[in-house]
Amino acid sequence: MLDLAQYLPGALLTQWLVQLGARVIMVERPQRRHFLDLPPDHPYYAALRRGKRSIVLNLKQPADRAVAYDLVQWADVLVEGFRPGVMERLGLGPDEARGRNPRLVYVRVSGFGQTGPDRERPGHDHTYTALAGLLAPFGETPTLPPVQIADVGGGTLPGLVALLAALWRRERTGRGACVDIALLDGALAWTYFLLPMHRQTPADRRWLDVFLGRVPAYGLYETQDRRWIALAALEPHFWDAFCRAVARPQWSERAFDPALVPEVAALFRSRPLAHWLGPDGRGGVLDPRRMSVAAVRTLDEALSDAHLHARAMFATDEHGYTHPRLPMRFDGQRPPAPRHAPQPDEDAPRIRAWLRGALSEDALFQEPAP
C-alpha cells in the first residue's frame, strides 16, 4: 500500500491498516514540515507513522517519478490526501496509476471532494463540521469538540470502509476502483438523527430534547467538588433505579420532563463525586452496575482504568508515548501495535534495493528490533 496521505484522515487510515497487517510505504515530499513546527519525535508523528516505511520522492523529477511508478505497480492500494488536481499534475492521478496497475484501489481523501463548486477550497476539521451544521445545529452557541470529528469520523472511517469494500469487489471482479472521500460529506453523515428532525415537529422536539441533554434522565451534572457525572438513565428501569438510589420516588414519572432538570442538577451539586460514585468511580450512592451512569474522566483517569487495561487497549511506542490500540479483536486477540515510527526517507535505501531485487519484501517490512 502506498501512503501519500499527508494529513490526519488518510494517514490514520493507513495506520489502522498497518495494525491490521498491511504493508505500507509512505511516499513523502522533500523538506516537508508540520505547520506547528513539531519535532520529529513528537507523538503526532508517532501516532500516524508507526510501522510504515518511508521514502522521500520529488514527484516533479522524472527519476523519482519512475520510482513511484514502480511502487504503484506493486501496490494494492494508494491513499492520497492532496487537493483535487494535484496528483494529476504530478503524473500520479488515478488514470495514470490505474493504467499501470488496473487492480489498484485508489483512495482520494480531500476536504470537499473531487467534484462540486467548492472542490478546491482549503479547510480543517472544524471548517467541515461548521459547514455541515454540527457545531450549532439549532442556532445555539457553537462548541469546538476536542477530537477531529470530520477528519476521523468523516474521513478515516468512511475511507476505511470504502477501501475494504473496493478490495472485496476487486477480488470478485479483478477491477480496482477510484474512491472519492470528502471530509464535508463525512461530517454531514454525522447528522443521521439531526437532519431528518431539523423541521422540529412536536415529535422531533421530544427526541431532540433527549438527544441534546435537555431532559433529567440524560445529561451532564456538576458535583459539589466541580467534577461531572454523565447520567444516561433513558430506560424506565434505569431511571427507577436512580430515583430509588437518591430517595426521590416522586421523580419516577418525570424522566423526560425538562422542568425537573434544575432539581436534579441541585441534587448532584450537593455532594462530591466520590459520594455519588465512590472513590474509584465504581459505586457509591449510585451503582454503575445497575444504572447507566459514569464519572466524566480526564485522560489520566482513563489511562488507569482497570477494564481498559484488561481489554489491552493501550500500547506504548519506542519514545514512551501511549497510543490507543485498534478497537477490535479477532478470535479474542487484538492486532499487535507497531512501536517504531520512521524518520522521513529512513527506508529509502532498502526500498530501492527491494525494487532492484536485492532485498526481499519480507526483509523490507520486518519490524525493527526493540
Rounded CA separation 204/30 (Å): 53
From the number of C-beta atoms within 10 Å of its C-beta (0-12, 13-18, 19+), residue 4 rates as: buried
> Annotated active-site positions, please?
151
111 contacts 123 by C-beta, under 8 angstroms: yes
CA dihedral for 53, 86, 150, 32, sign (positive or negative): positive
| 3-class DSSP state of 28 | strand
User: Quick check: 363 and 353 in contact, CB under 8 A?
Assistant: no
Report CA-CA distances (Å) from 139 to 135, 136, 142, 284: 9, 5, 8, 38
Q: How far apart are CA 347 and CA 352, in angstroms?
A: 9
319 HSE (CA, 13 A, CB side): 16
> Rounded to the nearest 5 degrees, what angle is found at the Cα of 190, between the Cα atoms of 185 and 195?
95
Euclidean distance between CA atoms 124 and 318, whole angstroms: 29
Quote the CA–CA distance of 367 and 370 in Å, as a whole number.
9
Nine-digit cell at 42? 513528537
